[in-house]
Structure 1
Amino acid sequence: RGLFYEYNSNESTDPNHVLFHALGAWRIAPGFHDLLWHRAFTVPAAQLLGGSVRFWHDQLFCKPAHHGGVVAWHQDYSYWTRTQPLAHLTCWIGLDDSNRENGCMQYIARSHHWPDLPITGLAGDMTAINAVLNEEQRREFQHPVAVELKKGEASFHHPRLVHGSFANHSDHSRRATVINVMKDGVRSASNEPLLQGIPAIPAGEKVEGRFFPLLYAPAARS
């Protein structure tokens, strides 16, 4: 447990709505470590980023059956402004089948064109984001796009795309791992450690090193 950057047995404050959330599984289990270099992930990631893929961090999410909590609407980059410029990508991979009943991922179409939004919390209140939206943006939440996936399937999304997932009311758990990456060349924008428990990278310097390995570099075209 000490190797996790963050470890929350329940990110929610409500014991009746549990959201397990942890960062750093790649340092714990060989399967999560090796997944980072899998070509089924790295090749499309390089295509979407338009260049070499550098690891940012991973996440684990678990919503237990019957009382699994929500992941509130948010933009990933709201939490990542300590790295610049914005050249990031998220890959969500199901460890269980995910559907509307057990709280699959849902996206707000076209919200990746919105500016950075203030952080309004990751767990507990799906409506918290309303406080930082204008009327036009709020209307977009009338038509969320649910992404139902089979175990082992994945979805990619832009770091500004607003997304979240509702509670798990099913008889089965809903587990997922998330791989967050950046285009090689992104720099630190903070003199504080970018992740808990690792050395700081001074502001302005390139994000690299053993905690942020290069996962894939496309072959140069001749």
Structure 2
Amino acid sequence: MSTVVDFIPGVPDYSTVHKPVGSLFDVDQCEWNKFKLSQDQIDTFWKDGFLLNVPVLTPQQCDMILEDYRYFLGGEKHPGMDMLYEYHSNQSGDPDNVLMHALGHWRLTKHFHDLAFLPKVVVGVSQLLEPSGNMTPVRFWHDQLFAKPPKHGGNVAWHQDYSYWTRTSPMCHLTVHIALDDQTEENGALKYIPGSHRWTRDGGKPLPVTDFNFKDMESIKTILTEEEKANFKPVCGNLKKGEASFHHALAVHGSYGNRSDSPRRAAVLNYFKDGVCSNTDEDLLNGIKIPKGQKMEGQFFPLVFDPKWADARN
């Protein structure tokens, strides 16, 4: 798809375009293979379930994206917001623990759209979706925004992503969390539990979903084994502005509130291996359906990288 179509009059829907459209990066100068992760990085990912501090954006690119961020701070009535899959000006509902959270914004602005296609991201994702490190075709699942304001930013409870994605199958998913501000212990940096991507139930199923309480970070421990609780040792990402963490769909992660004087904003990109299918006849995302058993593809799940593209550059 290459023609931008309006979802509502005067508001373009960039999900109708399956290639970069803006000025975030120069796709014509892309040499895919130079963005490959090292074998050490791949080994670290599969040992811990996550990989930290991967530079993917310059500070200038972050500032470009933050300009688009303002679009989504205007509330539910901003033009085009109906295209979002979710929008929460404060998902916690607690004014002392504010968490702005949105899904689907890649449809609304050029920079967020193009971020989903960023070569420094999608090449690494292609490698990490296969334990062997061999590159595989990648499709976009959905994006997320998280904003924690200074002093009263909220928590995101410990969880495994795939616990909420079982409407797609098999589990061949990966998440990229990009820091648009420096992330620290004080401002609510993302944290991970090393090795927790191996915490499963009943032959590989994710952990049961616990109450997603924005105040109580400890609810996940009610469904952990004694061994898992003993190994519950969080590692703080401490991402710098423009750095990303890549994490396995079963890696337990979460973040505490922002009590610093600065905002903590992040852009999150979720992907899956080409060939993943719908596992439901209900909505996959708000208003978007693919019959159960059919391949996830089409307008809302574009192919963002194919190893053949890298081969063609050689």
Match of 2:225 among 88, 110, 134: 134
Give the match's secondary structure for 2:307: coil
Higher relative contact order (CA 8 A, sep 6+): 1
Match of 2:262 among 172, 177, 198: 172
Q: Please name the residue that 1:42 is paired with.
A: 122
- 1:22-33 matches, cutoff 5 A: 22-33=102-113
Tell me the CA shift for residue 15 of structure 1: 1.5
Q: Please name the residue that 1:114 is paired with.
A: 199
Match of 1:9 among 84, 89, 93: 89
Deviations 1:177-208 (A, max 9, x none): 1000000000000001100122x111100000
Match of 1:210 among 280, 299, 303: 299
CA RMSD of aligned residues (A): 1.4
Q: Please name the residue that 2:151 is paired with.
A: 66
Q: Please name the residue that 1:154 is paired with.
A: 244
Tell me the CA shift for residue 78 of structure 1: 0.2
> How far apart in 1 are the matches of 2:222 and 2:99?
23
Q: Which has the larger radius of gyration?
A: 2
> How far apart in 2 are the matches of 1:48 and 1:144?
22
Deviations 1:112-134 (A, max 9, x none): 00111122216332011122112
5+ residue gaps, structure 1: none
Query: Is 2:140 aligned against 1:55?
Result: yes
Query: Is 2:308 aligned against 1:219?
Result: yes
Amino acid corresponding to residue 28 of structure 1 in structure 2: L
Amino acid corresponding to residue 283 of structure 2 in structure 1: P
> How far apart in 2 are the matches of 1:75 and 1:138?
15
> How far apart in 2 are the matches of 1:122 and 1:58?
22
Give the match's secondary structure for 1:46: helix
Amino acid corresponding to residue 303 of structure 2 in structure 1: L
Query: Is 2:203 aligned against 1:123?
Result: no
* Cα distance change on mapping 1:88 and 1:122 into 2, 3 Å: farther
Amino acid corresponding to residue 306 of structure 2 in structure 1: A
Give the match's secondary structure for 1:106: strand
Amino acid corresponding to residue 130 of structure 1 in structure 2: K
Give the match's secondary structure for 1:137: helix
Tell me the CA shift for residue 48 of structure 1: 0.9
Match of 1:183 among 269, 273, 298: 273
Deviations 1:66-115 (A, max 9, x none): 00000100000000000000000000001111011101110001000011
Tell me the CA shift for residue 140 of structure 1: 2.0
Query: Is 2:184 aligned against 1:99?
Result: yes
Give the match's secondary structure for 1:2: helix
CA contact (8 A) 1:74 1:122 kept: no
Amino acid corresponding to residue 146 of structure 2 in structure 1: F
> How far apart in 1 are the matches of 2:91 and 2:218?
17
Compute the TM-score of the two structures, normalised by the length of structure 2: 0.68
Tell me the CA shift for residue 13 of structure 1: 2.8
Compute the TM-score of the two structures, normalised by the length of structure 1: 0.96
> How far apart in 1 are the matches of 2:230 and 2:214?
22
